[in-house]
Amino acid sequence: MGDTPATRFRDAMSKAFTREDDDAPEAESNRWGRPRVPPGIRNLVTPDGMRSWQQELERLTGAVGSVASETPGDPRGLDRVRELQAYLRSAVPTPPPPAGDDRIRFGAVVSTRDPDGNEVRYRIVGVDEVDLDRDWVSWLSPVAKTLLQKRVGDRVRLRVPGGETLLTIVGVEYPC
């Protein structure tokens, strides 16, 4: 693919969690090294993210509430249970917007096209749901902030290493 705005942006996705302003509150990190929401900000989560965590917690704890682990005595199973419990305690499930709302909102899968014709789909998710390998970005990240409230057909400027790129929004959908 070479050095295109899309590849430069993808290479810089790890910057999605850096603070844009030194006066902004420091985001808390949990012991697993994942970023947390800044103090005073709701911990939004998609409905399918919430379901996934609940199902994983149920699988790990089993029917009687004891921690199941692939390896007996493995503390990683207990650590994961605690991590999931923390996610679920702080999570604010946020459903998709009502039908007919054509603005990009939390939970959207947004298809974009750069000036070279490369298409990238981003899913705007909660901080604890981020998966950069799948292009799932936090609603607090610079790319999400650039896309939120926009509509299909809008063109947005996104800062990338080496400058800016212009993205055209070509599609928006909301998974269940």
Q: Are 141 and 84 in contact (CB under 8 A)?
A: no
CATH of the domain at 108: 3.10.50.30
140 and 158: one domain?
Answer: yes
137 and 164: one domain?
Answer: yes
The pLDDT tens digits of the residues spanning 91-115 come to: 999 999 998 888 999 999 999 999 9
Q: Would you say residue 138 has pLDDT above 60? A: yes
Which of 53-57, 78-82, 137-141 bottoms out in mean pLDDT, i.e. has the lowest? 78-82
Interaxial angle between packed helices 75-90 and 47-61, expressed in degrees from 0 to 180 and rounded to the nearest 10? 150
The pLDDT tens digits of the residues spanning 19-40 come to: 444 444 444 444 444 447 788 8
114 and 69: one domain?
Answer: no
Q: In which domain, by residue range, is 11 found? A: 5-20+96-173
Q: Whole-angstrom distance between the N-terminal and C-terminal Cα of the chain?
A: 32
In a domain, 53, yes or no: yes
In a domain, 16, yes or no: yes
* Token code pair at residue 151: 């509509």
| 58 backbone dihedrals φ, ψ, rounded to 5° | -60, -40
In a domain, 32, yes or no: no
Q: How far apart are CA 148 and CA 132, in angstroms?
A: 18
| 128 backbone dihedrals φ, ψ, rounded to 5° | -80, 0
What pLDDT is stored for residue 2 in this prediction? 55
In a domain, 35, yes or no: no
Q: 50, 46, 45, 75: which is closest to 60 by C-alpha?
A: 75
Q: Which residues contact 55 (CB under 8 A, 6 or more apart)?
A: none
> Coil, strand, or helix at residue 83?
helix
Q: Are 123 and 143 in contact (CB under 8 A)?
A: no
